[in-house]
Structure 1
Amino acid sequence: MSTTTACGQAQDSGYRAVLGTPYVARLLGGTLIGRLPTGMAPIAILLLVRAEHGPLAVAGALGALYGLACALGQPLLGRLVDRHGQTRVLVAATAAASAAFLLLPCTGRARHPVLAALTVLVAGLATPPLEAGLRALWPVLLPDAGRQRSALSLDSSTQGLVFVAGPLLATGFAAGAGAATALVATAALGLLGTGLVVTSQPSRAWKPSEFTEAVHWTGPLRVPGLRVLFAALIGTGVALGAVNVLALSVAERHHAGWLAGVMPAALSIGSMLGGLAYGRHAWPGAPAKHLVTASVGFAAGWLPLLPDPAPAAAVLGAVLPGTFLAPLLTAAFLTVDRLAPEGESTEAFAWLIACIGVGQAAGTALASLASAPLLVAAPLLVAAVPLAGAAFALWLLHRFNDRLSS
């Protein structure tokens, strides 16, 4: 009992020390604000299409396209940051993404679907790699390895706020002033958050590593352990991508519109609580073992949502898998930090984020297809999509765990 308490107190002290370090709170806050568009845009796009009485399948397809474009853009932008620094890349990317969000309500999803799709594509591809960039800054801001670990735990836990506040902000703006206003707010928050990051001294002063030899075109993907981890996290992303469609499906079936934003937020609240609990203790074993354990809980947590529960039960059910999400991601980032080649940390972190994004796009698309009115078992099929994605991630991490530990 006394050992656990001491450990917890030490970790709490670590959190306070990390947040008290110059620029840490500003960079963490700016990154969270700047990443709000990734939590707001999928819901805002769904609501924009539905406001024009467009089918759920079309809404889901545009949401999936946005997620896929985000995923594809992250490694490329991460590689550019590793070569040219953060300032120019982040500023240019944020400007392009924000302009696309502002243009989308003017495209006419029904009259000009190709233009709408292209606009969504630009918004996704230009998503600035703020999360990967922040993790590349931790060694600069916090040279001590213990404080770096504390920062990473705090970072992974608080990132859940993006997917708590994002859906709620999008649904709130849409309900109060229309879906187009939600996209305007999305653009504004992206500009504000990125501005806080790029005007800070550590971000402006961050220098890319000097390369003594040409880097292979595959970058961090040439490391076998990273390939296993990234492939597994596609499955995790499938589960996360299906949540928005599952929430909208449950909301429409039970005539409870509030569920469209609350269910994804409940998942993220669970993630935040689980991540903070995980970070309070020094757990035995390597991060690779923690990945498997967290994946077991993440997969099992989706089971209560299979029988199409009532709205209140659905919200509680969404919390369960979330409690294992942040520990899973924290262990994944620690594994990437250990396996990433020298001078390629931003791109490696970006690949992790990208693979989750690819999975999210696939999960959104699969859940949208499963919700087709012609399918009698549609509610069960939609709820089975996140379970299938989480189970795939668990199988892969367990099957090839030795590659993550080597």
Structure 2
Amino acid sequence: MASTVTTEPSKDEPAPSRPGYGQLLRTRGAWTFLLPGFAARQPFAMLTISIVLLVQHTTGSYGVAGAAAAATGVSMAVFAPYSGRLADRHGQRAVLIPGVLLHTVSGLTLTALALGDAPLWALFAAAVPTGASVPQVGPMVRARWGVKLQGSPLMSTAAAFESVTDELTFVLGPLLATALCTTVDPAAGLVTEAALTLVGGLLFAAQRRTQPTVAAAGHARVEHASALGIPGVRVLIVTFLGIGSVFGGMQVSLAAFTESIGEPGLNGVLYGTFAAGNMISGVICGAIAWKTAPRRRLLIGYAALALAASGLWTAHSVLLLAGLGLLVGMCIAPALITGYTLVDGLVPAGARTEAFTWLTGAVALGQAAAVTVAGQLEDRFWGGAGFLVPMGGTVLALAVLLALRSRLVPPPRGTTVARGVGHRVPVTVD
């Protein structure tokens, strides 16, 4: 039987009776990676909408624009977990620096090709490396919190804080990209995205003291080959695919809706309202001392998300669409936060960067598929048909989540999973 010992509070932060955002942000060294990490995360929220707006401007087709954006999203989803595993094995800095440089060059190349009316295959050729090299800063920040707060009750607060930060980028990113593309130049969104990636990514990579140690990651790799081998992670991947379908479907459909009413500038406002709802509920979730188990919270929250997303296609006015978008956004944050929180119990520490990138990649893949399908629906059918995509994606994912919910139960503290086989390993428990 595993022994039981008493752990001491982390020396990086005090141990109050009730964890909260204030205490989390007083964690020693946190701001050294939070500030550059925030700048480096903006491109993730700007990239898809910048490509859609630029390519639609140069080709006149949302279908082509969606396909180009989807190529970027799919390549990011495919390569993100590999990037996470390399970061666990060789260190975040070793992965970030070449990735940031490649992404900047690829993004600028894609911009030049789009402005030069290049054929679709050429846009795809540039979109693939652009997506594959998107820096996985969000998962890397979450992994750094895991090092700082190991064994601390602040971990769930950190998960909520990171979700809020993600959603703040999804408020600011689309607004900034839309404003740049519609008031400055159609290419300004992608150019700014590349610049932020370069500056923010290099500054984040320079913070060596807070990154997880390579030695710890190497030890964990012996015990656990891949986060994908854990059944609960695979269920969460499907869940996050559904969340990605909401992001992608909303981006294309809102752009098409605002153009159809002659107010393209409202696109960023409506999408920002959707993301603001996500951010607000994320703040509230992080401030609550939850007594309900994370798995139950995920099931309830996801059911609410599927129900809210199912009403989007019925909205035919700006105000109604803004209200429904706000509601959908408020349902997303609880699902995201709880999913990331479940990773802590399901995945060994040395594989968490990879696990987080699987989830991030799932959102990107769901978004890419949704952008493609929604773009085709908007081109071929009635205005607003693209809003059927968030409904379909979340309902299908909810069905999988309900059927496989038993796989989200964390293994006992003294057990880890490697290639589907249980092994007893020495661990420290509370």
Normalised to the residue count of structure 2, the TM-score between the two structures is 0.86
- The one-letter code matched in structure 2 to 1:312 is L
Q: 1:366/1:349 Cα in 2 relative to 1: closer, same or farther (>3 Å)?
A: same
Q: Deviations over 1:327-364 (max 9, x none)?
A: 11111011112111352111111111111111111111
Query: Which one of 36, 41, 49 corresponds to residue 42 of structure 2?
Result: 36
Q: Matches of 1:205 and 1:230 in 2, distance apart? A: 24
Partner of 1:367: 374
1:73-222 aligned at under 5 Å gives the runs 73-108=79-114, 110-203=117-210, 206-207=213-214, 208-211=216-219, 219-222=226-229
Q: 1:284/1:147 Cα in 2 relative to 1: closer, same or farther (>3 Å)?
A: closer
Q: 3-state DSSP class of the match of 2:379? A: coil
Higher helix share: 1
Q: Matches of 1:212 and 1:337 in 2, distance apart? A: 14
Partner of 1:389: 393
Q: 3-state DSSP class of the match of 1:202? A: coil
1:59 aligned onto 2:65: yes
User: Contact 1:251/1:257 (CA < 8 Å) preserved in 2?
Assistant: yes
Structure 1: unaligned runs, 5 residues or longer? 1-8
Q: Deviations over 1:248-306 (max 9, x none)?
A: 12112222212322222111100110011111112222111111111012112224422
Q: Matches of 2:55 and 2:68 in 1, distance apart? A: 9
Partner of 1:405: 409
Q: 1:111/1:306 Cα in 2 relative to 1: closer, same or farther (>3 Å)?
A: closer
User: Contact 1:302/1:386 (CA < 8 Å) preserved in 2?
Assistant: yes
Q: Matches of 1:116 and 1:381 in 2, distance apart? A: 26
Q: 1:116/1:10 Cα in 2 relative to 1: closer, same or farther (>3 Å)?
A: farther
Aligned-residue sequence identity (percent) comes to 30
User: Contact 1:237/1:363 (CA < 8 Å) preserved in 2?
Assistant: yes
Normalised to the residue count of structure 1, the TM-score between the two structures is 0.91
Partner of 1:3: none
Q: 1:212/1:132 Cα in 2 relative to 1: closer, same or farther (>3 Å)?
A: closer
User: Contact 1:70/1:354 (CA < 8 Å) preserved in 2?
Assistant: yes
Q: 1:214/1:201 Cα in 2 relative to 1: closer, same or farther (>3 Å)?
A: closer
Paired residues in the alignment total 393
1:356 aligned onto 2:360: no
Partner of 1:323: 330
**Mean Cα deviation higher: 319-328 or 139-148:** 139-148
Partner of 1:5: none
- The one-letter code matched in structure 1 to 2:305 is F
Q: 1:266/1:98 Cα in 2 relative to 1: closer, same or farther (>3 Å)?
A: same
1:21 aligned onto 2:27: yes
1:226-265 aligned at under 5 Å gives the runs 226-265=233-272
Q: 3-state DSSP class of the match of 1:176? A: helix
- State the Cα RMSD in Å: 2.0
Partner of 2:5: none
Q: Matches of 1:107 and 1:210 in 2, distance apart? A: 41
Query: Which one of 74, 77, 80 corresponds to residue 71 of structure 1?
Result: 77
Partner of 2:7: none
User: Contact 2:219/2:350 (CA < 8 Å) preserved in 1?
Assistant: yes
1:284 aligned onto 2:270: no
Q: Deviations over 1:371-406 (max 9, x none)?
A: 124x2xx33531211011111222222221111125
Structure 2: unaligned runs, 5 residues or longer? 1-15, 411-430
Q: Deviations over 1:98-156 (max 9, x none)?
A: 11111222214633332221111111000111111111111322345112222221111
- The one-letter code matched in structure 1 to 2:219 is F
User: Contact 1:152/1:330 (CA < 8 Å) preserved in 2?
Assistant: yes
Q: Which runs of 4+ in 1 moved over 6 A?
A: none
Q: Matches of 2:219 and 2:151 in 1, distance apart? A: 25
- The one-letter code matched in structure 1 to 2:178 is T
User: Contact 1:54/1:110 (CA < 8 Å) preserved in 2?
Assistant: no
Q: Matches of 2:362 and 2:83 in 1, distance apart? A: 14
Q: 3-state DSSP class of the match of 1:372? A: helix
**Mean Cα deviation higher: 204-213 or 279-288:** 204-213
Query: Which one of 299, 305, 308 corresponds to residue 315 of structure 2?
Result: 308
Q: Matches of 1:261 and 1:159 in 2, distance apart? A: 17
Partner of 1:379: 383
Partner of 2:12: none
